[in-house]
Amino acid sequence: QQQVKQSPQSLIVQKGGISIINCAYENTAFDYFPWYQQFPGKGPALLIAIRPDVSEKKEGRFTISFNKSAKQFSLHIMDSQPGDSATYFCAASRDFNKFYFGSGTKLNVKP
């Protein structure tokens, strides 16, 4: 059973556009929801994270929107740039550092 479902699998956005990636989770015990960015040949790197008591968190061009009742959260990348082209993973955890990851979204930002 997949604990965290992520969509879309791939996304193409024009430079300057908004990229939106969605995730849904099942376990209401999850209490920490990070997003990771991974470039080819590199390990994932933390982008931004949120707790379920907050509905939105913004850091620069990256925003997490969190809907606790729907058990969904999403990543918005404003003013998307070619350098944002990477694979993005959402994740959820409740036990120390045991994270459940989504399947990933490959983002391609066209110049």
Partner 1 sequence: KAGVTQTPRYLIKTRGQQVTLSCSPISGHRSVSWYQQTPGQGLQFLFEYFSETQRNKGNFPGRFSGRQFSNSRSEMNVSTLELGDSALYLCASSLGGRTSGNTIYFGEGSWLTVV
β-partners of residue 14 are: 110
Establish if 62 lies at the interface with partner 1 (CB under 8 A): no
β-partners of residue 37 are: 45, 88
Find the part of the chain contacting partner 1 (CB under 8 A) among 15-23, 64-72, 75-83, 96-104.
Answer: 96-104
Find the part of the chain contacting partner 1 (CB under 8 A) among 9-17, 20-28, 32-40, 68-76.
Answer: 32-40
Q: Cα(47)–Cα(98) distance, rounded to whole angstroms?
A: 18
Establish if 111 lies at the interface with partner 1 (CB under 8 A): no
Q: Cα(80)–Cα(51) distance, rounded to whole angstroms?
A: 25
Find the part of the chain contacting partner 1 (CB under 8 A) among 17-25, 41-49, 56-64, 70-78.
Answer: 41-49
Question: Helix or strand or coil: residue 83?
Answer: helix
Binding site for partner 1 (CB under 8 A): 31-32, 34, 36, 41-46, 49, 51, 89, 91, 93-104
